[in-house]
A and B are shown apart, each in its own frame.
Chain A
């Protein structure tokens, strides 16, 4: 059985699914991730599904479960890179992926996790911050 690698980048675990997963592979990934979150103490998980050409209800449920598990373990999960055709199909299938946060790409996903962590840690927004942040994030 193939395994999906889990990479640690800074405070974030990055999972890039590059294969057509069997259900067993998906379940194993779910278990691997829970262990790695605890072992590394990471507070963010990014699951990159750019390479997935379909997401069916099983994989959808796996994504939801990972999001819930990581929440319990104090980590934020963001699913990134869903293809348009996959999103259209999921809507038709009736799968809403409740409770999952999504972003267009890995970069946006990291921003989303950082923003959420800042919120959690209670940083306040001051006008001066807006100025410097806009300058820092514009290309």
Chain B
């Protein structure tokens, strides 16, 4: 039913450098436009993706972002999975608190991007890497 734009399957972008974070933003923007998210929702999703891609790079030591178009019958959305095999997060509750940071940033990456998307799921354990899944639905 996705006549016109071929959204294909999941698209994966490796995150290993600064420039890759930019590429993740551009990939997410393209898919968000194709799914017809509103301008504000596009902006929120791309911003969240930028925060999380940077986290993957800085705290996870690099990893991947996988962008997929999802459908739940009534509406379509964009799902992004950020995965790294870094040290993981020890205290998740603390990491999700506004203003908490171990990396010298503003501490808004995790907590802030959670507010920008509709679904936010995080799986992590010390020594086992981190896997964050976010979804934004069209209205």
Q: A: which residues have CB within 8 A of B? A: 20-24, 53-58, 60-61, 83-86, 88-89, 92-95
Interface of B is mostly: helix
Q: Which residue of B lies closest to A55 (CB)?
A: B47
B21 touches A22 (CB 8 A): yes
A92 touches B116 (CB 8 A): yes
0/1 interface trace, chain B 27-55, chain A, CB 8 Å (1 if under): 00100000000011011101100110010
Measured between beta carbons, the chain A residues less than 8 angstroms from B47 are 54-56, 89, 93
Alpha-carbon separation in the docked complex, A84 to B18 (Å) = 27
A88 touches B115 (CB 8 A): no
A53 touches B108 (CB 8 A): no
B51 touches A57 (CB 8 A): yes
A54 touches B116 (CB 8 A): no
Given A23-B21, A23-B54, A95-B106: A57 touches B40 (CB 8 Å cut-off): no
Alpha-carbon separation in the docked complex, A54 to B42 (Å) = 9
How many chain B residues have a CB neighbour from A under 8 Å?
27
A86 touches B43 (CB 8 A): yes
A-B contacts, 26 listed (Cβ < 8 Å): A22-B19, A22-B22, A23-B54, A53-B29, A53-B43, A53-B46, A54-B43, A56-B47, A56-B50, A56-B51, A57-B105, A57-B109, A57-B112, A61-B105, A84-B40, A85-B40, A85-B42, A92-B44, A92-B112, A93-B47, A93-B51, A93-B108, A93-B112, A94-B108, A94-B115, A95-B108
B111 on interface, CB distance cutoff 8 Å: yes
A57 touches B22 (CB 8 A): no
B113 on interface, CB distance cutoff 8 Å: yes
Alpha-carbon separation in the docked complex, A22 to B20 (Å) = 9
Measured between beta carbons, the chain B residues less than 8 angstroms from A22 are 18-19, 21-22
CB distance from B57 to the nearest CB of A (A): 9
Alpha-carbon separation in the docked complex, A55 to B60 (Å) = 22
Q: Which residue of B lies closest to A83 (CB)?
A: B43
